[in-house]
């Protein structure tokens, strides 16, 4: 399994051809036995810019600092997800964003309240092409044009710009699409399409294509993608998660929706990193409305990984969050918008 690494000093600081697109790596195959160790980070800081839930009365802990609202400092919660991530290696800090939520005004207000320094961003990443993860992206890019670095890379997987739909009980729902041309026309963002695990800033890796190894984490037939004017089931082959190897702690695995399955994602991260120990799992697990059997099997397998922290978010669903809290009370942490997680020194 190949790992792709990019030196961000190589990205142009002047103009970049708007249509420039880099294709990086190939999807891993089941026959591949090679593993590649990813470097350790000294510290990892993840700030939740937006998520589905906020509660100002919940306490902070040693590794998780809550944001407490007051007059003029309230935060916006929505059906969306957005992360700010900082890695620290050899005394050097590197920052990027992963996913952008849906509401421009709410997310941008949260970034202001949380004092997210846009000028320090070295890269941008997108997990997949659903509106609750990219809906704010173009507006964010336009509003922060003067602060974002020229030629900043935007990492995406396969089908990030595809038109998607969902079959609802009351009919077909159009989920819209992120339009590549809207980003290219801005003239300062470099789109980088990936298939293999890829380092986007030092110590931060996108998963690349996530191998499906469980027998129960299946694509939902109600999730559809448009190809050649036809709708077909969406396999989410281009969905991306994040992998970090924290010194002395183990892996931190971050999902957004885990359409490929949260257990599949964790196993894939272990294989990519060559590390078994799981320190933390956080993100959306896409189990809202799932059957009790599916929820129970997923929670049992998550428990078997014995993570130090389990932090479900976004589309995980009340039933799954409740079961995780009951089954893993010492590891469970309820996420709220604005929480800042620090892993490592």
CATH number attached to the domain at 4-344: 3.60.15.10
Q: Which residues contact 223 (CB under 8 A, 6 or more apart)?
A: 164, 166, 233, 234, 236, 259
Instruction: Give dist(CA 308, CA 165) in Å, integer.
Output: 37
Domain boundaries, the chain: 4-344
CB–CB of 155/126 below 8 Å?
Answer: yes
Q: Which residues pair with 121 in a beta bridge?
A: 95
Profile the chain (345 residues) by mean pLDDT over runs of 10 residues. Answer: 53 30 35 60 98 95 94 93 98 98 96 97 98 97 97 98 96 97 98 97 98 96 95 97 98 98 98 97 97 98 98 98 98 98 95
Nearest to 60 by CA among 342, 264, 263: 342
How far apart, in Å, are the Cα atoms of 249 and each of 41, 86, 183, 275?
Answer: 10, 17, 38, 11
Q: What is the pLDDT of residue 2?
A: 56
Helix (H/G/I), strand (E/B), else coil: 165: strand
Q: Which tokens go with 176?
A: 């819209």
Count other C-beta atoms under 10 Å from residue 119's C-beta.
10
Q: What is the pLDDT of residue 4?
A: 65
CA max distance for the chain: 57
Tell me 141's DSSP state.
Answer: H
Give the ranges where 67-162 is alpha helix by DSSP (H): 104-113, 131-134, 137-143
Q: Which residues pair with 243 in a beta bridge?
A: 205, 253
Helix (H/G/I), strand (E/B), else coil: 139: helix
Q: Which tokens go with 143?
A: 């509003």
Count other C-beta atoms under 10 Å from residue 151's C-beta.
19
Q: What is the pLDDT of residue 1?
A: 55
């Amino acid at each position: 399994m190949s790992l792709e690494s990019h030196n961000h000093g190589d990205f142009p600081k002047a103009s970049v051809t708007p249509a420039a697109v880099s294709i990086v790596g190939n999807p891993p195959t089941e026959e591949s036995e090679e593993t590649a160790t990813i470097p350790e980070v000294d510290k990892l800081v993840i700030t939740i810019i937006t998520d589905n839930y906020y509660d100002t009365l919940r306490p902070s802990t040693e590794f998780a600092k809550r944001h407490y609202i007051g007059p003029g400092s309230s935060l916006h919660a929505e059906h969306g997800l957005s992360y700010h991530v900082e890695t620290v290696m050899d005394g050097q800090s590197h920052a990027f964003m992963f996913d952008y939520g849906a509401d421009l005004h709410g997310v941008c207000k949260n970034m202001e309240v949380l004092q997210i320094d846009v000028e320090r961003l070295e890269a941008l990443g997108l997990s997949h092409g659903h509106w609750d993860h990219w809906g704010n992206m173009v507006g964010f890019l336009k509003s922060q044009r003067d602060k974002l670095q020229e030629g900043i890379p935007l990492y995406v997987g396969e089908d990030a710009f595809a038109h998607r739909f969902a079959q609802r009980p009351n009919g077909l729902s159009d989920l819209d699409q992120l339009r590549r041309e809207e980003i290219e026309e801005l003239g300062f963002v470099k789109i980088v399409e990936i298939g293999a695990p890829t380092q986007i800033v030092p110590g931060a890796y996108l998963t690349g294509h996530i191998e499906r190894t469980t027998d129960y984490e299946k694509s939902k037939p109600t999730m559809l993608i448009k190809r050649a004017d036809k709708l077909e089931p969406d396999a989410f082959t281009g969905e991306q998660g994040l992998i970090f190897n924290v010194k002395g702690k183990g892996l931190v695995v971050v999902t957004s929706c885990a359409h490929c399955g949260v257990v599949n994602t964790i196993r894939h991260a272990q294989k990519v990193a060559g590390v078994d120990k799981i320190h933390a799992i956080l993100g959306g697990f896409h189990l809202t409305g799932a059957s009790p059997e599916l929820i129970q099997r997923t929670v049992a397998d998550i428990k078997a990984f014995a993570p130090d922290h389990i932090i479900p978010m976004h589309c995980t669903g009340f039933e799954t969050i409740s079961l995780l809290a009951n089954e893993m009370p010492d590891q469970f942490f309820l996420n709220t918008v604005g929480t800042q997680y620090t892993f490592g020194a």
